[in-house]
Structure formats: C-alpha cells, structure tokens
Amino acid sequence: MLYIISIFSGFIGGMGIGGGTILIPILVFFFNFEQQIAQSINLLSFIPLSIVAILVHIKNKSIDLKLSLFIIIPGLIGSLFGSLLAVSLSSTYLKKIFGLFLFIMGLYQIFCKTKEN
C-alpha cells in the first residue's frame, strides 16, 4: 500500500502540487505516524523526487533560474525556523495547523479566479 501511495505522491509532487499533501495525511491517519515523523519522512523523500522533477523541468526550459535563486535563499532561512518550530510543537497542534493550511489552500483553489492561457 505504501508503494502505491508513494507513486501517487511522487506523481503529484512532480506536477509541482506537493506530494506531501497526499503523503502526510495518509501516514498520519492510516499508518498512525506522529505528525512530526510524517512531515520528516515527506521532507526526506522530497529530495530525490524533486531532483528528478527539476531535471525534467530544466530540460523543458520551464524554470526561471534567477527567480528560483531569489526565492531559495530566504526559503532556507524560513525552513530553519519552521523546522525548529515543528519539533517544538505537540503533534496534535501541528496536525491542526497542517489541516488548516490545507483547508485554506483548498478554498483558495476553489474560489479564486485563474488566468486563462
């Protein structure tokens, strides 16, 4: 079952949506992992998955490298503080924050206009 979930999570991640939106809830709700452990597994699995996706997107010239570097550097600082906060919070509270984030993003995707190509 984890194998199939991992394939689907990698597929979603490769599209740029974020495989953790699938992987983390499944690890927490169906396999009883603590939220911090599930998020850590997601982060570790994200490294090789993102490398493959990056190579495909670079090959297709669909990455703005200048903009990416501008986003990566402050993102590294944010990830340091975010990970320190995540390990200091209770699993229950972290789960609620993650759920709220997914809920807000879902509402945004449903109700906000998108550009037509």
Q: Is the pTM of this model over 0.85?
A: no
- Token representation of residue 1: 């079952």
User: What tokens appear for 114 in the block?
Assistant: 């998108």
First and final C-alpha spacing in the chain: 38
Q: Are 19 and 52 in contact, with CB atoms under 8 Å apart?
A: no
Tens of pLDDT along the chain (117 residues) come to 888 888 888 888 777 777 888 899 999 999 999 989 999 999 898 888 888 888 998 899 998 888 988 999 999 999 999 999 988 999 899 989 989 998 998 898 889 877 665
Domain spans, the chain: 2-111
Interior CA angle at 60 toward 55 and 63, to 5°?
70
